[in-house]
Amino acid sequence: MIGIVGKPNVGKSLLFNVWSGEHAKTSNYPFCTIDPNKGCGWVEIKCPCAEFEKTCGRCTNGQRSFPVQLVDIAGLVEHASEGHGMGNRFLAEILEQEILLEIVDATGELNNQGEPQSPSLDQVWHDIEFIPTELVRWLGQLIERNGIRTLERLETFLRSFHISPALIHQLFRDVANYHQFSDPVRLRELLRRSKTEVLILNKVDRCSSEHLQQLVARLKKDGRPFFCYSALLDFGRSSERHQGQAIERMKALQLRPGSIILREILFDLVGVKIIFPVKHLPALTDDQGSILPDMILLPRDGTCRDLAYRIHEEIGTHFIRGIDAHTHLFLSATTILTHRQVVRIVAKV
């Protein structure tokens, strides 16, 4: 669901390790991460059981953890789309993700080849633009190479990257000829509107304050979502020896831990919601008697019928109504559900 992308050595694997608590190899070597590393980040959600005066036995201090898939993808290099570096295989993997965490070395101390140089703001601007530019270039080439000449074929082709036919139709319906299917301006817009791109300025611990101020001021002006971060300090928080020091430095730099950033991305930026489906009311149980057994993630505009489909294809097809566990009111197929809502689905099965 979340792809971690960026050029080599910006700290993708370290961030992945910290956020997922897993231990993908980190090193200073450009292609240390060859296969995508998959793991889970965890976001905490307030469990509804207390509001119903129940004890679900699944939460800790009233909090439930919800897993979010993270994929650490091998370093993107200049002209990856032309077969340099790891090329097509991982470019495809990147575009399959719904959320792209675009990691940039905030110091600008890595040149285009991922080799050390002195700090450079110009390098940072270049790196920020580089990720989407490379993705768009690759997508354009893929469309050309596959000889896609009709809007219908373009829609089918892009569906595998979770890009909706409606959006493709909107952006490409007026093209005069099929060469425009690989137009970088339209493809950039397609990427912007089909994925949530979040910029992470990593290695902030190494930036001078003047450098950082200039960086932040310009990004705020651009108005795109970004987070200042230090995977190294966040990692330090979990080590016994340097914990106190890491916490102090993060505080001084006003940096937030990965778990908080992840929450903000999911619930504020993307606007996903977690729904608790139950089979029996008012018990809030499944057939085995487990209280609030499941959590299901829905998009911002996810409806009651969407929830039914996520539970089971059959339940979606034979949906009759939903019932809200608090109010006991009926919910129609098109009712948009709210975060942490507890819902029973009634279906003809």
Ligand X SMILES: Nc1nc2c(ncn2[C@@H]2O[C@H](COP(=O)(O)OP(=O)(O)O)[C@@H](O)[C@H]2O)c(=O)[nH]1
**3-class secondary-structure state, position 253:** coil
Determine the distance from the C-alpha atom of residue 267 to the mean position of all C-alpha atoms in its chain, rounded to a whole number.
11
Does position 333 interact with ligand X (CB under 6 A)? The reply is no
- We find the least distance from the C-beta atom of residue 89 to Mg ion, in angstroms, to be 15
Compute the least distance from the CB of residue 20 to Mg ion, in Å: 13
Check binding of 28 to ligand X (CB under 6 A). Answer: yes
End-to-end CA distance of the chain: 31
Q: 222, 54, 52: which is closest to 128 by C-alpha?
A: 222
Is 32 one of the binding residues for ligand X (CB under 6 A)? Answer: yes
Instruction: Choose among 199, 227, 31: nearest CA to 114.
Output: 31
Report the nearest approach of Mg ion to the CB of residue 332 (Å): 47
| Alpha-carbon gap, residue 80 to 336, rounded angstroms | 41
Residue nearest to ligand X (CB): 11
Q: Which does 340 bind (CB under 5 to 8 A by kind): ligand X, Mg ion, none?
A: none
Among 13, 17, 97, 196, binds Mg ion (CB under 5 A): 13
Please tell me what DSSP assigns to residue 150.
S
Under the binding rule (CB under 6 A), the answer on residue 13 touching ligand X is yes
Structure tokens at 268: 């504020």
**Residue 248 burial by CB count (10 A; 0-12/13-18/19+): exposed, middle or buried?**
exposed
Binding partner of 230, given ligand X, Mg ion, none, CB within 5-8 angstroms per partner class: ligand X
Binding-residue pattern over the window 228 to 257 for ligand X, x denoting contact by CB under 6 A: --xxx-------------------------
Residue 110 DSSP symbol = B
Residue 20 interacts with ligand X (CB under 6 A): yes or no: no
Residues forming contacts to ligand X in the complex (CB under 6 A) are 6, 8-14, 26-28, 32-33, 75, 202-203, 205-206, 230-232
Judged by the rule CB under 5 A, the positions of this chain that interact with Mg ion are: 12-13, 32-33
